[in-house]
Amino acid sequence: MDSVRALLIDIDGVLTVSWQPLAGAVEALREIRDSGLAVALLTNTTSRTRASIAGTLSAAGFPVAAEDILTAPAVTAAYLADHLPGAHCTLLNSGDIREDLVGVSFADDADTVPDVVILGGAGPEFDYTALNRAFGHLQRGARLVAMHRNLYWRTDRGLQLDSGAFLLGLEQAAHTKAVVTGKPSPAFFEAALAHLGVSAGQALMVGDDIESDVLAAQHAGVTGVLVRTGKYLPETHRAASGEPDHVLDSFADLPALLR
C-alpha cells in the first residue's frame, strides 16, 4: 500500500446509512486524513447538494468539506456542458439538486419539448404520470442521461428501490440507451483522479457496491476495496463479474489495511 496517495470513498453504505455514521467510520476517516492521504468522496446520491452533504457529514464528526465531495449531479452538469451545450433539459429526481447542476438549462414550461431527459435518484416523484411524461419525451427524440444505474440502496428501513429499476423500463420502452454519468462511468473516476491530482495506480476506491463502486474502479486502474456494509449481499458478491482486490468487514478496518 506504499504507492497509495489518495482514497476515493463512497458515502452511503460505507461511511453512513441514512446519513447516520457507521461504527468506527468517523475515527477511521480522521486517522486517514491525519496520515496525509488525499481524500475524495464519490457519491451517486442525488437527493442532496454537495454543500448539504458536507454539512451533514461534518455535523456527524467527519472531517469533510464541500470541495472533498464529487457528486453525480456535478459530473452530469460537466457532461452536458461538454457534449450537449445549450440543451434544454427536464429533470426527474427526488430532491432539489439544481444548485449542483451548474449551467444546465431547464425546460420548465410544460409546452416545451426538452432535448434531454435527466434521470436522478428515485423517490415518490417517480410515479406513473412522471415516468410516462419522460417516456413521451423520449419517443419525440429527447436524449436520456442518467446519473446512475443503481437498482437499490440501503436505508435504516432496509433495501429500497432506486432509479436503475425505472431506467431499465424507460430504455426498453423507448428503444434508447441512456448515457450514465455517475458511477460506474469511467468519466466519474477520471474526474475524481484529476481533482486529486493522482494517477489511477496511486488511488484506492472503497465502496459497498461490488459492480458500480469496486469493479468499475478496478477497470479504471484503481485498486478496489469492497466493504461488507450498506448494500453488500453475499449472493451479489458471488455472482459478480469479477473479484475485488480487497474485502473488509467495514470502513473502520481500512486504516489497518493501509498500514
For all residues of the chain together, what is the average pLDDT? 93
What is d(CA 240, CA 231) in angstroms, rounded to the nearest whole number? 14
> Once rounded to an integer, what is the mean pLDDT over residues 26-37?
97
Q: pLDDT band at residue 100, thresholds of 50, 70 and 90?
A: confident
Interaxial angle between packed helices 163-174 and 128-139, expressed in degrees from 0 to 180 and rounded to the nearest 10: 40
What's the rounded mean pLDDT across residues 133-152?
94
> Which pTM was predicted?
0.81
Beta strands in the chain (DSSP E): 6-10, 16-17, 20-21, 38-43, 69-71, 88-92, 105-106, 116-119, 143-146, 152-155, 158-161, 179-180, 203-207, 223-227, 246-248
Residue 254 scores a pLDDT above 70: yes
Query: Virtual CA dihedral for 100, 119, 207, 188, nearest 10 degrees?
Result: -60
pLDDT, tens only, 203-242? 999 999 999 999 999 999 999 999 999 999 999 999 999 9
224 with 209: CB under 8 angstroms? no
Q: From its phi and psi, is residue 233 left (phi > 0), alpha (psi between -120 and 50) or beta?
A: beta
Ramachandran category for residue 17: left, alpha or beta (phi over 0 → left; psi -120 to 50 → alpha): beta
**Tell me: the pLDDT tens digits for 179-201?**
999 899 998 999 899 999 999 99
More confident residue, 70 or 150: 70
pLDDT at 109 > cutoff 70? no
What cell was used for 209? 457496491
Strand-pair category, 143-146 with 179-180: parallel
Asked which of 38-52, 82-96, 148-162 is least confident by mean pLDDT, the reply is 148-162
| pLDDT range class, residue 110, cuts 50, 70, 90 | low
- Residue 59 CB neighbour total at 10 angstroms: 9
Residue 44, pLDDT score: 85
In contact, 5 and 38? CB cutoff 8 Å:
yes
**Which region holds residue 153: left if phi is over 0, alpha if psi is between -120 and 50, else beta?**
beta
The C-alpha angle 7, 83, 107, rounded to 5 degrees, equals: 105
| Edge-to-edge strand ranges of the sheet holding 143-146 | 105-106, 88-92, 116-119, 143-146, 179-180
3-state secondary structure of 183: coil
The pLDDT assigned to 78 comes to 87
Kindly report whether the peptide bond that precedes residue 255 is cis, defined as omega within 30 degrees of 0: no
Q: Quick check: 108 pLDDT over 80?
A: no
C-alpha cell at 35: 496520515
By C-alpha distance, which of 205, 220, 189 is closest to 257? Answer: 205
